Each structure stands twice: as structure tokens, then as C-alpha cells.
Structure 1
Amino acid sequence: MSFKFEKLIIWQDSMTFGEEIYLMSKTFPNEETFNLTSQIRRAVDSVALNISEGSILQSNKEFRRFLGYAIRSISEIVTCLYKAKYRNYINEEIFDEHYDKSYKLMNTIIAFRKKLL
């Protein structure tokens, strides 16, 4: 037995991405624990959470709405990545890697969302 969302590539990718962001954010200074660290972790967790929540007992219209929330969370992650880069918590290489993964995940979710018309 499994939940419907567990079979979705977008959910699987968002789970992997979430763990990568979590590990990266562990390197942020302690003074950011309740600010940027918390914010980026909540945003990245929100992507997978919205995909799973939207997929269960929802119409396609409702599922599309939840996928919209997931996409918005990705834009929040990207802004947090910029903040981390500007504050020199991450270097350009780490920024680029996570920025690219954010962009790819966003486009994959958008493509999936379009199929739910």
C-alpha cells in the first residue's frame, strides 16, 4: 500500500531537495537559527507538504491550487538562497547548484500542473 503522492516524481524530487536544503542550512550561523535557517527550512518543507496535501481527496482544480502554493514556496527558497549568498553563508557554487535545482523543480511542477486541466 502507498499514498498516491508517493508515486509522484515531483513529490519524490521535492523530498530529496528538502533534505539537501536542510543540510546546507546547517552551515548557517547560529544567529540565523530563528530567521533565515528557519525560513528556508519551512519553505522547502512546504513544497512536499503542499504536493502531498493537494493530491489527497482533492479535485484537479484544488490540486492545482496546492501546486501553486508549492511553486510559491520555491520562489521563497530562491530568495533565501540569495540572502544566504549575500551574507556570505554560501558560496557561488552552492548557490548555483541549489538555484538550478529550484528552477528545475519549479518547471517540473508547472508542467505537471498544466496536465491537470
Structure 2
Amino acid sequence: MAGYQELKVWKASMRFALDVYRVTSGFPAEERYGLTSQLRRASVSIPSNIAEGHCRDAPGDLVRFCNIALGSLGEVETQLLLARELGFVDRGASEGLLQQAEQIGKMLRGLIRSIKRP
């Protein structure tokens, strides 16, 4: 398997994290240690877990860390919906991010299936 930086899902999740950082830069200052921080940490967790799992020796570790990345993805989706309801992000921007999240989820699930396949 190629290095983690060559994985499409890692590249997509890096773009996603960057986009989350850009969107959250417009959040209210009082959210710096709240929703802004939560969204940023959860989005960074996605490519980080893919990289960590890939750098371990056992394929089972990659599956485990991809599942953790899926959990972080769910966190980001939930927090984006909350941010939209609070008026911190407009519908268009949140829909774009949610579509990216859906694609990343599909890619992660596909990677997990391919690793589990004998």
C-alpha cells in the first residue's frame, strides 16, 4: 500500500479540515474555545487518524483508526448542523461541507471494506 499521503481519503480529509478552518474563522470570538475549537479538532482528527493507522504495522490498526476517523466525521457533521442552526455558517457553506463529509465517509467505509476483504 502506498504512503498515507497518497491515499485519496487522506487528501480529501485534509482539504476538508482546511475548509473547516476557513469557515470557522468567521465564527464569533466567544466561540473560540467552544464550537470553533471542537470543529477544528474533530476535523483535524480525521486525516490524523488515517495517517496514524496507516503508519502502524497491522492492517487491523488501520481499520481501527479509520473507524475512529468515522467517529470524528460524525462529530463534525453534528457540529456543522449546530453551527448552521446558530447562524454561524450559512446554509450553502454548511451544505458544501456536509457533502464533503459524506464523500469522505464513503471513502473511509470503502477503505475499511477493502482491508477486511481476504
**Residue 30 of structure 2 is aligned to residue 31 of structure 1:** yes
Structure 1 unaligned blocks of 5 or more: none
Q: Percent identity over the alignment?
A: 26
Instruction: For 2:37 and 2:105, locate their aligned partners in 1 and report how far apart those are by CA, in whole Å.
Output: 21
Secondary structure of 2:52's counterpart equals helix
Name the residue aligned to 2:63. Answer: 64
Q: What is the rounded CA distance, in whole Å, between the counterparts of 1:87 and 1:47 in structure 2?
A: 24
2:108 is matched with 109
CA contact (8 A) 2:56 2:62 kept: no
Deviation, 1:17, is 0.8
Within-5 A mapping of 1:1-117: 4-117=3-116
Letter in 2 for 1:107: K
Cα offset for 1:82?
Answer: 0.8
Write out per-residue CA displacement over residues 52-93 of structure 1, whole angstroms, 9 at most, x where no aligned residue: 000013311111000000000000000110111010011111
After TM superposition, the score normalised by the length of structure 2 is 0.94
Asked whether the 8 Å contact 2:26–2:88 carries over to 1, the reply is: yes
Q: How many residues align?
A: 115
Write out the 4+ residue segments of structure 1 that deviate beyond 3 Å after TM superposition: none
User: Which AA in structure 2 matches 1:35?
Assistant: G
Structure 2: tracts of 5 or more residues without a match: none
What SS does the corresponding residue of 1:27 show, helix, strand or coil? coil
Distance 1:95 1:20 in 2: 10
User: What is the CA RMSD across the aligned residues, in angstroms?
Assistant: 1.0
What is the one-letter code of the residue matched to 2:8?
I
